[in-house]
Amino acid sequence: MTTDMKVSIIVVNFNGARHTLACVASIRAFAPSCEHEIIVVDNKSSNEERDELVRHLPDCTILFSGTNLGFGGANNLGAKHAQGEFLFFLNNDTLLTTDTLSRLVDELDRNHTIGILGPALQNADGTFQMSFGLFPSLISEWQTKRLGKRFNHRNINVKEVVEDWMHEWITGAALMIRKECFDRLGGFDPSYFMYFEDVDLCYRAYQFGCGIGYDADCSLVHLGGMSYSSGESVVQSEYRRSQLRFYDKFRFRPERLLLRVYLFLEALLGLFRSGKQTAAAVIGLVFKYHGK
């Protein structure tokens, strides 16, 4: 089946219709010059949320999942209905300020060695936001944390630091991928409910020989923090669950064991502080296998 559709923009909504509507409005305000479609996947929100999406987005394709599929699962559902040559996964708490999509599409058209491409992200106040990194390992995660702290210092040349840093993965908050590549990879691994599904996708793409790109000269705003509506303890537990799954899938056994020792000791300290519920959940995760 052939199509002239160039890019399919996929936005996942979970009880965040206000942000989703603002995101779609920003896409319309800076409409791509290329042929595009907008697909909104509602991840089993309330009836009021669903009604609001239908009422205000008559020109978008709206898909309703029967259950909360998580970030990766919901995006996979959207991708199944996508007609575009490129898929652009966009968080609903993002706002376009320029025709970023067309620039990304042009770059992918020019450079066929790149299969995944992401723009720079900005915070609401216009400051730089980390949206890429090295593939996770005990060393690289420590390096990434150090890099993040550097951006908190004044008088730092952010662009110079960014250009010197390797972009092995791109955040799923704003990620464009060739649909052919996405389909051959089997999409996001749905066993990650949230966190690390984008890193996992990029890692498998890298193994497949697909280049990962980052365009520091085009950007969009990412408000961030939407997942915390589920509660901080839930978010922290899900982060650790996904982290352990990635390590169990791709890292060597000694590194997996060291991560578990670190998380176990950190959780024990948490039992004597305010985060007892989170600490107990993490301890439970440490003694489970989260691999293939």
185-222 residue pLDDT tens: 999 999 999 999 999 999 999 999 999 999 988 999 99
End-of-domain residue from the set 228, 245, 267: 228
32 shares its domain with 163: yes
Contacts of 117 (CB under 8 A, 6+ apart): 104, 107, 108, 170, 175, 176, 177, 212, 213, 214, 215
Q: What is the pLDDT of residue 155?
A: 52
Q: How confident is the model at residue 142 (pLDDT cuts 50, 70, 90)?
A: confident
Q: What is the pLDDT of residue 2?
A: 46
227-264 residue pLDDT tens: 444 456 778 899 999 999 999 999 999 999 999 999 99
List the structure tokens of 41.
Answer: 């996947």
Task: Answer for the pair 96, 24: CB distance below 8 angstroms, yes or no.
Answer: no
How many whole angstroms separate alpha carbon 74 and alpha carbon 135?
A: 24
Residues 190-194: contacts with CB within 8 Å, 24+ apart?
Answer: 190/69, 190/70, 190/72, 190/73, 190/76, 191/245, 192/70, 192/71, 192/72, 192/242, 192/245, 192/246, 193/70, 193/71, 193/238, 193/241, 193/242, 194/70, 194/71, 194/227, 194/235, 194/238, 194/242
Mean pLDDT calculated for residue range 60-75: 96
Q: b/e per residue, 100-132, with b = 16+ CB within 10 A?
A: bbbbbbebbeeeeebbbbbbbbbeeeeebbebb
87 shares its domain with 100: yes
End-of-domain residue from the set 204, 228, 252: 228
- CA–CA distances in Å: residue 51 to residues 44, 48, 54, 186: 12, 5, 5, 31
Q: What is the pLDDT of residue 143?
A: 77
Q: In what helix (H) or strand (E) does residue 99 lie, and over which residues does it extend?
A: none
- CA–CA distances in Å: residue 67 to residues 17, 42, 70, 216, 244: 17, 9, 9, 36, 24
Percent of the chain with pLDDT over 70: 88
Of 286 and 70, which is predicted with more confidence? 70
DSSP designation for 135? P
116 shares its domain with 220: yes
- Does 76 score more than 70 pLDDT? yes
- Average pLDDT taken over every residue of the chain: 89
Mean pLDDT calculated for residue range 38-54: 96
- Does 177 score more than 70 pLDDT? yes
Domain count, the chain: 2
CATH number at residue 80: 3.90.550.10
- Does 158 score more than 90 pLDDT? no
* Domain with 178 in it: 7-228
Q: Where are the alpha helices (DSSP H) in the chain?
A: 17-29, 47-56, 70-80, 100-110, 138-150, 158-164, 179-185, 197-207, 232-250, 253-271, 276-286
Region of poorest pLDDT, from 38-47, 79-88, 177-186, 234-243: 234-243
153 shares its domain with 191: yes
Q: What is the pLDDT of residue 271?
A: 74
115-124 residue pLDDT tens: 999 999 999 9
How many whole angstroms separate alpha carbon 204 and alpha carbon 148?
A: 25
- Does 166 score more than 80 pLDDT? no
End-of-domain residue from the set 206, 228, 250: 228
Q: Tell me, yes or no, whether 120 lies in a domain.
A: yes
Length of the chain equals 292
- Does 141 score more than 90 pLDDT? no
Mean pLDDT calculated for residue range 78-85: 98
Q: How confident is the model at residue 101 (pLDDT cuts 50, 70, 90)?
A: very high
179 shares its domain with 249: no
128 shares its domain with 40: yes
